[in-house]
Amino acid sequence: MMEPQDNIEEDDTAASAPPPRSLPRQRVSLQKSSVCSRSYFMVVMVFFHVYIINVIALLLYVHYNNGSNAITANRDFTSRDNSHKDTGASNPQTPADSGFPRNMHLPRIEGIRVGHVQKVSLVPGKVHEMKTLSLKPLLFEIPEFLSEEECGVVVHLAKLKGLMESQVMVPEGQEELNQQLNLSPEEIFNFLDLNQDGQLQPHEVCWQSSVSVKPWFCSLARLRKCNVWLYLVFISVCVCSFTLCVICNLIRSQLVRNSRHTWLYQGQGAHQVLQDLRKRVTHLTRLPSSLVELSEPLQIVRYEQGGHYHAHHDSGPVYPETACTHTRLAANTTSPFQTSCRYITVLFYLNNVEEGGETTFPVADNRTYEENDVDLLDTRKHCDKGNLRVKPIKGTAVFWYNYLSDGRGWVGEQDEYSLHGGCVVTRGTKWVANNWINVDPDYQRQARYQQFVSQQQETQEQEELISELNSDQHIDRHQDL
């Protein structure tokens, strides 16, 4: 664009003939127009560049917006609208025979109002009463869910199987050990996540830091493992010395939980009481049996006198990048974040506790949460300040939803009000059992998992049939406790 102007000037200077009289005026006007063209040119260029920058910005915006839409679409995948398509005809991966209907909706029991009692039929010839204890979380109590004998059988089986410490003390020098072991962030996370719910509660983190400043107690833990006699000497010293006992209690109160537990398989071949219990839970929750059957085994917990479980969520929040422990195998994901995706907790009381040991829901129905300054998570100190406490009565079951509904019949966000814990057992022992129903908030992942399991079962059945035919021997089913 500069060239025409230059040419004009060159043409002017090249003119060798004496300039006509009008030339100076013409030259002045030429110079004027040159100045105008330059500013015009500058303005045009500025506009041109602004235009180009705008176009690039627009393109970048569209590009990234599409990207985030993809993420949103991925998240929406958990919604029923999408799952209709994704698990339906458009998804050849979800077979009709995987026990996972294409339009599965999770029924959710209505609480109506606190104190509302509804009759439920769980076993032939008996009607149970189910009382709404709170709406946030949706929490119910069912007295006589188990008979006295059934409670006895479950406790007996747990004793036979043997219980392990629910939370072990952490040895000192943990960091150096980590370096030696070369633990990945995921492994360290799982290690810190004492209750394995996929998230780190303040107590879990606090416990780690308290360990580092109390090496003396860690030595106690080591001695306990290594030398029973030395440990007994320590225990005697603790019993005799008032000061030491105070410190012991302090440390115990810092544990997230002070209990022992074991797991009991409830599938084919398990004790009839355990199988019956699972069927009853299916009726109670009104969930598809395939979901209940593929959930965690029954967890039995024993608290000695002084035992507790600080307030916690049984399952953590689920983001698109969070994997569920139960569907992980089939999810084809390498996400370091995982949670147990326990949609429902059914808690059974297996004995009557002499004193204490209530299950607390400190923020249920949000009546006192805002006003309280105290640490409501501390079930040793502040159980009485929580909103709701359930007294453990032998045979009673309580159950609640750890997740809200997504409004379309599937699992939504974590229900923060489902925070709960076990108050300290002040006299006697406490036996409880947890039946957790695992559902992946991502419908597609749950579908793939169920498909995966049914394929495995088919292969196993085929193999069993072949080996039966080959050896012509009867295969005894494994009788698992």
Ligand X SMILES: O=C(O)CCC(=O)C(=O)O
Residues in touch with ligand X (CB under 6 A) = 301, 309, 314, 359, 420, 422, 432, 434
Q: Does 314 bind Fe ion (CB under 5 A)?
A: yes
422 binds, among Fe ion, ligand X, none (CB under 5 to 8 A by kind): ligand X
Residue 278 vs 420, nearer CB to ligand X: 420
Give me the least distance between CB of 421 and ligand X, in Å please: 6
Q: Which of 369, 233, 362, 356 is nearest to 304 (CA)?
A: 356
Residue 396 vs 450, nearer CB to ligand X: 396
Give me the least distance between CB of 359 and ligand X, in Å please: 3
Residue 174 vs 299, nearer CB to Fe ion: 299
Give me the least distance between CB of 398 and ligand X, in Å please: 9
For residue 57, what are its two tokens? 């910005």
Residue 200 vs 223, nearer CB to ligand X: 200
Residue 204 vs 442, nearer CB to ligand X: 204
273 binds, among Fe ion, ligand X, none (CB under 5 to 8 A by kind): none
Write the CA distances from 314 to 195, 211, 339, 348, integer angstroms. 8, 24, 9, 15
Give me the least distance between CB of 311 and ligand X, in Å please: 9
CA-CA distance, 374 to 353, in Å (whole number)?
A: 26
CA-CA distance, 463 to 469, in Å (whole number)?
A: 10
432 binds, among Fe ion, ligand X, none (CB under 5 to 8 A by kind): ligand X
Give me the least distance between CB of 382 and Fe ion, in Å please: 17
Q: Does 378 bind Fe ion (CB under 5 A)?
A: no
Q: How many residues bind Fe ion (CB under 5 A)?
A: 1
Q: What is the largest CA-CA distance in the chain?
A: 128
CA-CA distance, 306 to 324, in Å (whole number)?
A: 33
Residue 394 vs 445, nearer CB to ligand X: 394
Q: Which of 290, 262, 264 is nearest to 277 (CA)?
A: 264
For residue 238, what are its two tokens? 């603790």
CA-CA distance, 211 to 201, in Å (whole number)?
A: 16
359 binds, among Fe ion, ligand X, none (CB under 5 to 8 A by kind): ligand X
Residue 288 vs 422, nearer CB to ligand X: 422
Q: Does 193 bind Fe ion (CB under 5 A)?
A: no
Give me the least distance between CB of 289 and ligand X, in Å please: 24
Give me the least distance between CB of 135 and Fe ion, in Å please: 19
204 binds, among ligand X, Fe ion, none (CB under 5 to 8 A by kind): none
Binding site for Fe ion (CB under 5 A): 314
